[in-house]
Amino acid sequence: MHLAESKLKILLQKSGLVTADVFDSAKEESMRSGQTLTNVLIGRGDIPEEYLTELFGQNFGMKTVDLRKVVIPTEVLEMVPETYAKSKGVVLFEHDAGKKLAKLA
């Protein structure tokens, strides 16, 4: 998901985790290194990845799921071809045929 830099900056500053100076420094490092701004912020330890995930979820009105804590049945995993899942960076982690419901991360 993509969040405009200006909105990300405002959200992070409101949270109190990142100051304008820290954000601007991370942005400069991002441009120099070719990494995404969020990867720089997480990699430098400026923000925890879990917090950023929750922030994105709230902003986009979506629930977050820690897939490390979810047991995914093999038959559900196999519903999306592995090559497609890897190329798109997605995983199907829940499927209910009766409700016509699928959860994708």
In this prediction, residue 1 carries a pLDDT of 52
pLDDT at 76: 94
pLDDT tens digit string along 5-31?
888 898 899 888 899 999 999 999 999
Residue 101: phi and psi, rounded to 5, are -125, 130
Indicate whether 4 pLDDT > 90. no
Note the pLDDT tens digit of each residue in 45-95: 999 998 888 888 888 888 888 888 999 999 999 999 999 999 998 999 999
C-alpha 2/C-alpha 70 separation (Å) is 25
* Residues 3, 52: Cα–Cα separation, whole Å: 11
Residue 2 reports pLDDT greater than 70: no
The torsion region of residue 34 among left (phi > 0), alpha (psi -120 to 50) and beta comes to left
